[in-house]
Every structure is written in structure tokens, then in C-alpha cells.
Amino acid sequence: MSRLLLFTSICLYIGCITTKTNFRQPGSLNGVWIPVKQEMGGKALPLPGYDRDTLTLSDTVYNYTSRDKGMVNYKDGTMDIYSREGVNAGKHFTAIYKVDHGELTICYNLAGDSYPADFETISKQTLFLAVFRRSQE
């Protein structure tokens, strides 16, 4: 009986380590983010198109202005985004991200077939770049 208890404890411990390593986002990203810049294919998108939007991150759940909701997994500066509701329901996007000087920069590959190599979108029609600042609310 003690071997069974020991085996179960080890399995639970390993399962918790794996979950935290692969799926937990850094807590510093949790919160509400306001987009300040967006571009696609190297071309800036006009601010009136997104000036009232917000990105809310809470561990592995995201919500983009109630138009897109789903799950996000983080690992070593990369994101796997799985849309569950909204305009992108059923889609998988890959992305890279960084936080620098209080801004969150995410470069998405809308094709979802590979992670962007960098944060440059010029001549890359499937890449979408968004820069966010944390909401003060």
C-alpha cells in the first residue's frame, strides 16, 4: 500500500512540474493590455481601427475585446494561441513575444505553421505585429 501511495505521489508531482513548465504564463503578463501599435506586412494599421480594444491575459486564458477568446500556452518567448470563441474560433496561431520598457510586443504568424523568426513584418504577409502597454485601471 505504501508503494502505491509513493507511486501516486511521484506521478502527481511530475504532472504538476510538466504543467507549470509548459503551460503557465509568466505572471508578469497577467492583466489588461491596451494596443498602441499594430502592423501587418510592414504596414502600420490606423489607430481608429483598434483604439478601444483590450487584450486581457489571465494565466492560460486570453480575451481580446470580447471578439476573440481562447487559450494560450507559453514557452521560452513563444506562444501557441488557440481561439475558442469569436472571429477566429477553431484557429491556431503561433507567436513570439517580449516585454521591454513596460510594453508587450507580440508578433503573430497568422498561418500558424511556424514561429516568427523576429519581430519584423516587412515582406511577410502572414505576420501581424501588435505592441501593447499595460492598462492603468
DSSP per-residue letters across 29-65: G-EEEEEEEEEETTEEPPGGGTTT--EEEETTEEEET
pTM, to two decimals:
0.80
pLDDT in the model for residue 41: 92
- Say if strands 127-134 and 68-75 run parallel, antiparallel, or are unpaired: unpaired
CATH entry 2.40.128 includes domain 2-134: yes
How far from the centroid of its chain's Cα atoms is residue 61's Cα? 9
* Domain positions in the chain: 2-134
Q: Which three cell numbers stand for residue 88?
A: 477566429
Listed in order, strand segments (DSSP E) in the chain are: 31-40, 43-44, 55-58, 61-64, 68-75, 78-86, 92-100, 103-109, 127-134
pLDDT tens, residue order, the chain (137 aa) = 444 333 434 444 444 444 343 344 456 899 999 999 999 999 999 999 899 999 999 999 999 998 999 999 999 999 999 999 999 999 999 999 999 999 999 999 999 999 999 999 999 999 999 999 999 86
